[in-house]
Amino acid sequence: MSEQGIVKAIVVGVIVAVVGSSIHVFQKEIKQCIGLEVGFCPLTSEVTYDGGGRYKGDTLNGKPQGKGVFTTVKGDRYEGEFKNGTYEGKGTFTYAANDAGYERYLGEWQNGKRNGKGTLNYVGGHRLEGEWKDDNYIKGVYIWKNGDRYEGDWSKDGTKRNGKGTLTYADGRRYVGEFRDDEINGTGSMTYPKDSKTQSYDGEWKNGKYNGKGKVIWSNGRSYDGYWRDDKRNGQGVFTWADGDRYDGGWLDDKRDGFGVMIKSDGTRKTELWDNGQLLTSPSPSPSPSPSPSP
């Protein structure tokens, strides 16, 4: 067969394949195919699909194969590698306006889905860097526009922080511990910048606040080891001053409440009864009522 005949056969083969799948193919360029078997020659085509999508790029047997650009009817745009008609390899997907706030994904694809390493950029300036499986984010780093960073476990659908992770704030705070439903929940430790009033907290959390049993150490040398509710001392706990004195007793919203024992650094012990931060009784002489300790 002559070279002209080979080219003619290729074009006819493409048209037949396209008509059979209700796709309109407009052949713009035919790559050099001389010497290649008909049906195995990559072509550069423009394809308009009945649903409104458009493809421009390499094709093989009437399907996108190689490098190309696909634009959906709503305006999403994929530019990258294709195999057997689907996204496969490396590519960039630019999203049209959407409720999720996605802007652009750059990375690896398999079977038309995000699979492998990639970065998802959000309209607000946040981004996800890490690994994906079947379109879901499985591990990596989430970086906020202000510089906060999260690295750890995610929910199965890749939308919420769930499991163990590390959250590093741009202001110098650092949390290492458990997350649930995209919030700090469970047990974990928070460390604060050197110039902060609080040095560290190690214990239980609920919705980003101290809840349950935990210990705070303040920068002035004082500490509290006991129970918390919504960032305040509530329940039984021990408050220790920098000089070694300590109070072991009940607390209500950061104030001494109920019975407790005041233990001096020299070992002297005194049982006291408090009501919302006011000393009511003491079995032995004591100084005038003093306010509840504060950091």
β-bridge partners, 136 = 133
What is the distance in angstroms between the CA of the first residue and the CA of the last residue of the chain?
Answer: 92
What pLDDT sits at residue 249? 98
In this predicted structure, the answer to whether residue 33 has a pLDDT above a threshold of 80 is no
pLDDT at 27: 37
Q: How would residue 11 be classed by pLDDT, with cut points 50, 70 and 90?
A: very low
Percent of the chain surpassing pLDDT 90: 71
Residue 278: HSE in the Cβ half-sphere, 13 Å Cα cutoff: 3
Is residue 134 over pLDDT 70? yes
Q: Is 286's pLDDT higher than 80? A: no
Average pLDDT over residues 8-26: 34
pLDDT score recorded for residue 15: 29
Cα–Cα distance, 242 to 225 (Å, whole number): 14
Q: Tell me, what's the pLDDT at 267? A: 94
Query: Which domains are assigned to the chain?
Result: 41-143 (2.20.110.10), 146-219 (no CATH), 221-284 (no CATH)
Q: Which of 37-41, 227-231, 236-240, 278-282 has the lowest mean pLDDT?
A: 37-41
Q: Are 229 and 235 in contact (CB under 8 A)?
A: yes
Confidence of residue 32 (pLDDT cuts 50, 70, 90): very low
Each residue's pLDDT tens digit, 67-109: 999 999 999 999 999 999 999 999 999 999 888 899 999 999 9
Kindly provide the residue ranges of all beta strands, DSSP E only, lying in 96-231, ordered along the sequence.
Answer: 102-110, 113-122, 127-133, 136-143, 149-154, 161-168, 174-180, 183-191, 198-206, 209-218, 223-229
Mean pLDDT of the chain: 85
Question: Percent of the chain having pLDDT more than 70?
Answer: 82
CB 244 within 8 A of CB 222: no
| Region of residue 233 (phi > 0: left; psi between -120 and 50: alpha; otherwise: beta) | beta
Q: From CA 229, how far away is CA 213, in angstroms rounded?
A: 9
pLDDT on residue 281 = 79
Tokens standing for residue 160 = 């919420």
Residue 119: per-residue pLDDT: 98
- Please tell me the pTM assigned to this model: 0.74
Do 161 and 144 contact (CB within 8 A), yes or no? Answer: no
Q: CA angle 50-54-55, nearest 5°?
A: 125
pLDDT tens digits, one per residue of 151-191: 999 988 878 999 999 999 999 999 999 999 999 999 999 99
- pLDDT score for 272: 96
* Contact between residue 131 and residue 117 where contact means Cβ atoms under 8 Å apart: yes
The more confidently predicted of residues 122 and 15 is: 122
Confidence band of 288 (pLDDT split at 50, 70, 90): very low
